[in-house]
Structure 1
Amino acid sequence: MQNPTLIVKRTALVCTMLACQAAHAQFDLHRVSVRAGPTTIVPNVTSGYLSGPSAPGTQIDVDSASGITGGLNYALTDNISIDFPLDLPFRFDVNGAGSLNGAGKLADIKALPISLLAQYRFGNAASVARPYVGAGAAYTRFYGARSSALLTPVTLSMKNRWSRTAQVGVDVPFNARWSLDIAATYVHLKTTGSLSTGQTIDVALNPMSWSLALAYRF
């Protein structure tokens, strides 16, 4: 199996090269579209165990979160485009699991995903719908953690991480300018949580996000 870090770096390089190609090409405003709409992120959590000293089997879980997101898309050709999602921070509840199952909320933390994707759109401008697939790299920043009464005075932090991301979606045009964009995005994200007491816990978040957006092409 290839090194995940190497895969991310290669993906980021491909996205950067495509972006540079767009920057050096003659700029065409009609190739640019913007979008905005609701997004729900659903973590698929696989938790390790909290390092000692702690109760055996101490794990965590992370709830889903929803918010408004947007994005910019630049079409290099009728089928290939570069996509830059524009997200506001999402705040996630971190709950006890394993031996802490049923204990409730331990803390909440903000996550800001920053990603860049290369997309391939099937069909053409005259198609009734434009299904697409995308792949790229994502950087997730974690900050603003707040402990619940259950965890206070101990505080929680999580490491920022690079990861791979993949996407499927469909763009349904209403006319030459407006369309409805529906997308599902997967991020292969693993991180490490740390407590102010020095204990750590590894966790795979691997979130799926579901987005519905109204898009406008200039």
Structure 2
Amino acid sequence: MTKQILRAGCALTLLAAFGAAQAQVAGTWSVRVGATHIAPQTKSDDLSAPSFPGTKVDVGSASALTGGINYMLTDHWALDLPVGLPFKHSFYGDGAIDGVGKLGQTKVVPATLFAQYRFGEPNATFRPYVGLGVTYSKFFKNRSTAALTGVTGGSPANPTTARIDNKFGLTPQVGLVWNFNERMFLDVAYYKSFLKTTSHLSSGQSIDMRLNPNVFAIGVGWRF
């Protein structure tokens, strides 16, 4: 992934060399490429009956190659759309089943649209910003393991599978744009997505989860 990011950054640098200078003013578009790390802060309820009391799950972190598109509505207000590859998260036993290992995995596309306010002047070197977005998390390609089948009382002939509800959530954001010149910039951001969802098992059981991930994003961009 690191090599891909460096190559993309070099390509943007070459593009910037042939473009006219632009500041962050109304009507300006920009694109960026980089990486994002999602770290869920999982708090799960107990697995519904029949199950051992305190049967919970934890969700692992994931990183992916990402980027984004930004449009300046005014010199200070912007719309920002992060884009990227899906994130792959693993589920693990927690609580009464802590130590059973990996229960399954899922892929997720967290589609978010941010409204941002950027501080400072359009031609400032550093422009901190705050944002608020709405995220729609789409879960797909769910996979389960023999450990999940064992926890739920299934059998190899009838393994337990899982389905996760797609959900909306609010996502506040803080970030900083560091302008190398009037074309090239570095964008770093932290945001917190407030997300609660439910996993439904083929055994008839279900479990509610508050994921509320911390998200860290970095990207090199080009303004035009």
Report what 1:164 is aligned to.
170
Amino acid at match of 1:177: R
Count of aligned positions = 191
- Structure 1 residue runs of 4 or more that deviate by more than 3 Å after TM superposition: none
Superposition map of 1:94-173 within 5 A: 94-152=91-149, 153-173=159-179
Whose radius of gyration is greater, 1 or 2? 2
Unaligned runs of 5+ in 2: 1-24, 150-158
Deviations 1:169-217 (A, max 9, x none): 0000001110000000111000001111010000100011101100110
CA distance in 1, matches of 2:83, 2:127: 21
3-state DSSP of counterpart to 1:188: coil
Residue pair 1:87, 1:113 contacting (<8 A) in 2 also: no
After TM superposition, give the deviation of residue 127 of structure 1 in Å.
Answer: 1.3
Contact 2:35 2:63 in 1 (8 A): yes
| Secondary structure class of the residue paired with 2:146 | coil
Contact 1:57–1:99 (8 Å) recurs in 2: yes
Aligned to 1:72: 69
Quote the residue 1:25 is aligned against: none
User: What is the TM-score normalised by the length of structure 1?
Assistant: 0.85
Shift of 1:38: 1.1
Distance 2:27 2:205 in 1: 53
TM-score scaled to structure 2, two decimals? 0.83
| Equivalent residues in 2 for 1:163-202, closer than 5 Å | 163-202=169-208
SS at match of 1:150: helix
Instruction: Give the 5 Å matches for 1:32-47.
Output: 32-47=29-44
Amino acid at match of 1:113: P
Q: Which amino acid aligns with 1:165?
A: T
Quote the Cα distance in structure 1 between the aligned partners of 2:135 and 2:200.
22
Q: Percent identity?
A: 47
CA RMSD of aligned residues (A): 1.3
- 1:30 Cα deviation after fit: 6.0
